[in-house]
């Protein structure tokens, strides 16, 4: 996915890259800039969020393998922790089923957040969602059932922009957006660690990959939020 590629580029920022590598990365970056919130817009959303306290933030999942979390998952978990540490978020709900690997993404990310020091009582997992639209939708539903009213989406600028219209049209105009500020992550990077987690706890023994279960067009519809039963809301 494009947003995954760009987040990986962020973690490569201080590594030397040759001309060929720069050319390879330039095309998706140009597209990313067109489909993502700008740095100015991202900073504006963060400033707005800094003046509020959200009872819950929704953090979309990323596939996990036994080798450990990748740079995209790491960025999203650390951003969620930053928002909790700053008092912007009282609770965090990570969302994601076992889509591309046998591990429930929401549970894996929750384990990482707890390992980084976020109190377990403030960390939640949602494991039904298989697409980004579902990540936000199911977190919103579960949060409401738990009694939380003020909810925001916390993810990278690309995904935040893609979900903005969905959030407003299909969920609520009150849903906040807090896209990752990469300058803030950059300052945190020297202090970032890669904690070990008991990932086996989040394994789905009945795993079948989404690609094996659904056609391309059904997965595309899912990405657009077309597979959700909104009557259940």
Third-level CATH fold of 44-232 = Rossmann fold (3.40.50)
Which residues, 6+ apart, have CB-to-CB distance to 104 below 8 Å? 96, 97, 98, 125, 127, 202, 203, 204
| Interval 213-232: pLDDT, tens | 878 888 877 877 877 877 75
Residue 29 has pLDDT above 50, yes or no: no
Written as six digits, the tokens of 211 are: 């690609």
52-107 pLDDT per residue, tens: 999 999 999 999 999 999 999 999 999 999 999 999 999 999 999 999 999 999 99
42 CB contacts (<8 Å, ≥6 apart)?
157, 179, 180, 181
pTM above 0.75, yes or no: yes
Range with the largest mean pLDDT of 33-42, 103-112, 222-231: 103-112
């Amino acid at each position: 996915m494009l947003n995954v590629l760009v987040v990986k580029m962020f973690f490569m920022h201080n590594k030397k890259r040759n001309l060929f590598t720069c050319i390879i990365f330039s095309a998706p970056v140009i597209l990313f800039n067109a489909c993502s919130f700008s740095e100015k817009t991202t900073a504006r959303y963060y400033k707005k969020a800094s003046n509020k306290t959200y009872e819950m933030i929704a953090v979309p999942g990323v596939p996990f393998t036994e080798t450990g979390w990748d740079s995209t998952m790491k960025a999203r978990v650390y951003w969620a922790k930053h928002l909790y540490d700053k008092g912007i978020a009282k609770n965090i709900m990570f969302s994601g089923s076992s889509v591309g690997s046998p591990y429930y993404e929401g549970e894996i990310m929750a384990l990482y957040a707890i390992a980084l020091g976020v109190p377990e009582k403030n960390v939640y997992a949602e494991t039904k969602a298989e697409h980004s639209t579902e990540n936000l939708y199911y977190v919103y539903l579960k949060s409401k059932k738990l009694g939380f009213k003020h909810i925001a989406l916390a993810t990278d600028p690309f995904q935040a922009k893609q979900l903005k219209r969905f959030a407003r049209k299909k969920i609520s105009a009150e849903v906040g957006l807090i896209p990752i500020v990469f300058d803030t992550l950059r300052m945190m990077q020297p202090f970032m660690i890669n904690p070990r987690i008991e990932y086996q706890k989040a394994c789905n023994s009945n795993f079948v990959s989404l690609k094996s279960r659904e056609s391309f067009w059904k997965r595309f519809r899912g990405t657009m939020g077309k597979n959700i039963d909104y009557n259940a809301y």
